[in-house]
Amino acid sequence: MTETILYGYWRSSATYRVRIALNLKGVAYETVGVHLLKDEQSQPAHLARHPSGRVPILEIDGQRIGQSMAMVDYLDETRPEPPLLPRDAFLRARVRDLKDQVVADLHPLNNTSTLARLRSQFGADDAAIAAWYAYWIVRGFKVLEQMLPNAGDFCVGNAVTLADIVLVPQVANARRYPKIDLNQFPNILRVDAALRQIEAFAKAAPENQPEAREAP
């Protein structure tokens, strides 16, 4: 069988999503670090993997995929157990709605390339960048908080879905920087805490990656 390789940065929330999905699907994989803070994503070796110059890149079944949700969808289509979408059409739409609140509306505004552009083009200092980050996190989390159920361990229904896979990495980011008080989001905290007890999520956590031992 062709080896599966995940090229990514250990703290990247998009890479974190894919680690969770690979673990849930029981896919053995090797990780190859691409250090964003050292600009390794812009180097020829990484651009040869995919022209986007982003992480993660997934090498699987002899192919390469360059967007995290395309990777997760591919895994769900080629390895259907456990399913990451409910059978009911409305519940599937609900999962995708929640998922896109993070993937489309929230994450692009606080990823490393966006924050770096604020500094280089507009001269934003650390405090201004932190304020930008916090504004969009809080705005996005207020939406998610209202959309999530008031009880239970998952974003939708009684099993892990795509929504859960994107929620946990985004919460991890918010905890780390700029250290927003998340107590105002009890539904988010409850679901996040329950999910992080699941082995596939725990193994995927940034602090459990080999690179974490080398980080300052």
The 10s digit of each residue's pLDDT in 150-198 is: 999 999 999 999 999 999 999 999 998 887 899 999 999 999 999 999 9
CA 47/CA 35 separation, integer angstroms: 13
The pLDDT-based confidence of 212 (bands split at 50, 70, 90) is confident
Question: Are 95 and 156 within 8 A, CB to CB?
Answer: yes
Continuous H helices in the chain = 13-24, 44-47, 68-78, 89-100, 112-122, 126-147, 162-176, 186-195, 199-204
Q: For the segment 29-73, what is each residue's pLDDT rounded down to a tens digit?
A: 999 999 988 989 999 999 999 999 999 999 999 999 999 999 999
Domain ranges of the chain: 5-82, 89-201
- As a whole number, mean pLDDT of residues 4-19 equals 96
88-139 per-position pLDDT tens digit: 999 999 999 999 999 999 999 998 899 999 999 999 999 999 999 999 999 9
- What six digits make up the tokens of 164? 């859960």
pLDDT value, residue 194: 98
State the DSSP code for 101: I
Q: Which two tokens stand for residue 145?
A: 């908080």
CATH T-level assignment (fold) for domain 5-82: Glutaredoxin (3.40.30)
Name the residue among 97, 164, 172 with its Cα closest to residue 137: 172
pLDDT at site 2: 67
Residue 168 burial by Cβ neighbours in a 10 Å radius (0-12, 13-18, 19+): buried
Sheet with 57-60, strands from edge to edge, namely 30-33, 5-8, 57-60, 63-65
Taking CA atoms, 168 is separated from 3, 17, 48, in Å, by 27, 8, 30
Question: Which of the residue ranges 24-38, 64-78, 201-215 would you say has the lowest mean pLDDT?
Answer: 201-215
The pLDDT assigned to 8 comes to 96
| Distance between CA atoms of residues 138 and 63, nearest Å | 37
Confidence of residue 214 (pLDDT cuts 50, 70, 90): confident
Q: Say if domain 89-201 classifies as CATH 1.20.1050.10.
A: yes
Nearest to 51 by CA among 62, 65, 37: 65
pLDDT band per the 50, 70, 90 thresholds, residue 216 = low
